[in-house]
Amino acid sequence: MRSTGPVSRFGRSLVAVTTTAAAGAVTALSLGVSPAAAAPTDMTAPRPGDSCTAADLGTRHPYIKTTEVSPTITHFKGWYVTEGTTGQQTVSTDTTTVIAVSVGLNDTIETSFAVEALSNVKATVGLDVKLEYTSTSKESNSVTWNLTQPGYYGFYKGTKKVTGTYGSLNCNRAQQGDGRWALEWTEGPGGGSFTTFTTLEEGAVRCQDSVPADSIMARAQALLDCGSAAAKADHPAGAATQMAQQKPDRPAPHPAPTSGTSTEQPRATDHSARAALDCSAEAYKIAVPGKPLSWGAPLLADDGVRLRPSTIFSAHLDNWRLCNVTERNGVIEASLWNWGNGGCATVAEQNAAGERAVLMTVSCAEDDLQRFYIYRDVPGSSKIGVQNKYTGSMMGYDRYADGEFIRQYSSGRQDGTGTFDLTRV
């Protein structure tokens, strides 16, 4: 048996949390051989300007910039109850608003970055919000309530809809006011908006009931059209009334997931595109720090970039050049052209949305799937983290072994296996 009469449920009013990103200006690419230490920090929920370590170069984290909480009615129906027909009533409501969980342009919530973003939302607003993809339309529309008095009731289901914006933090070097260098969490590419909601509540409310302002129940009472409730006295017991429907809050169709970059991607069609790249004269290895394996490009078109040892037979497949290099706020952006097979590193378009998608090489073209951000340790250290521009994911590997693929991870490898050495050949 449900509670008798209306039950007070308090809605949460507007919450706004804003932050600004901190980023230091840094100089051009500096490669060295001796690592420099960075101060350790608690990485549970990094904020812009917090310190990080070289092990964090291959990772990224979301941080919540703004939030808004609004009580929302998702299912509703007006129902008149006369003397002698009170007691438990079960009513099938109409769907008024559909709320779907989403992070950025992606509503699948399958990546660690999206899950972490929603977990941060939960901590920020202090509500038990949904951390996986679902929508309010998946909920049953039936409401059962015990009514002790006659009157005109609104049977409803509702929730607290939580929306807002988030940013993406990467670990990168920044110059301090005294001229020294340190690693800090700075805002990088990959911001967007999110939507989630709390567990659905249900109930029944009358026009004359006193309810908390800005609560889910108050939103339901507002739909009752109480000014004309007296005219409904002639309706038979249990007669449903036509109520004005709220405009469904349905999400727009979702294009291919990305992290704050354009979804319209030109594809490589000209196999001579390499000639147009402005590549550095120096060649580099992208190696596992302190170990002999490094990124090795494939000889076969359908293979991927793997961890390989350098040998006299590698035919420069472990040599990479940085092409069309730009720098913004101390972060290098470049295409990675392989000296051995003549291709550019990329994440295949059909796999771009996938966690652990394999890094490939293809004919070079002006394409964000072939562009990478390089985050650097302090000067004197050759340690870097590598992020794909289009997907926002960081490069890493599952285990250290000859032949292991280089893959993308939405939040990077939190065990430090996304940190590499960029060393001149």
Q: What is the pLDDT of residues 312-336, one digit of tens each?
A: 888 899 999 999 999 998 999 999 9
249 within domain boundaries:
no
Arithmetic mean of pLDDT, 90-101: 94
Write phi, then psi, for 360 (nearest 5 degrees).
Answer: -120, 180
Same domain, 306 and 234: no
Q: Domain holding 317: CATH number?
A: 2.80.10.50
Q: Which residues of 40-78 are buried (b: 16+ CB within 10 A; e: fewer)?
A: ebebebbebbbbbbbbbbbbbbbbbbebbbbbbbbbbbb
- Residue 163's domain comprises 54-241
User: Of 217, 241, 265, which closes a domain?
Assistant: 241
- What pLDDT score was predicted for residue 228? 60
Task: Please tell me the pTM assigned to this model.
Answer: 0.75
Q: How many domains does the chain have?
A: 2
Residue 204, pLDDT > 60, answer yes
State the Cα–Cα distance between residues 404 and 398, nearest whole angstrom: 8
Same domain, 161 and 92: yes
- What pLDDT score was predicted for residue 196? 97
Arithmetic mean of pLDDT, 380-402: 97
- What pLDDT score was predicted for residue 261? 37
Q: Which of 16-20, 60-64, 83-87, 244-248 has the lowest mean pLDDT?
A: 16-20
Residue 349, pLDDT > 50, answer yes
Same domain, 348 and 305: yes
User: Of 224, 241, 258, which closes a domain?
Assistant: 241
Q: Binning pLDDT at 50, 70 and 90, where does residue 111 land? A: confident
Same domain, 237 and 317: no
Residue 122, pLDDT > 50, answer yes
Residue 279, pLDDT > 60, answer yes
User: Bridge partners of 193?
Assistant: 165
Residue 31 burial class via C-beta count within 10 angstroms: exposed 0-12, middle 13-18, buried 19 and up: middle
- What pLDDT score was predicted for residue 250? 42
- Give the tokens for residue 309: 């040892």
User: Of 241, 265, 289, which closes a domain?
Assistant: 241
Sign of CA dihedral 176, 181, 184, 187: positive
Share of the chain above pLDDT 70, in %: 78
Residue-averaged pLDDT of the chain:
81
36 within domain boundaries:
no
Say which residue, 42 or 391, is predicted with more confidence. Answer: 391
Same domain, 103 and 218: yes
pLDDT in tens, 6-25: 333 333 222 233 333 333 33
Residue 153, pLDDT > 60, answer yes
Same domain, 222 and 370: no
Same domain, 207 and 279: no
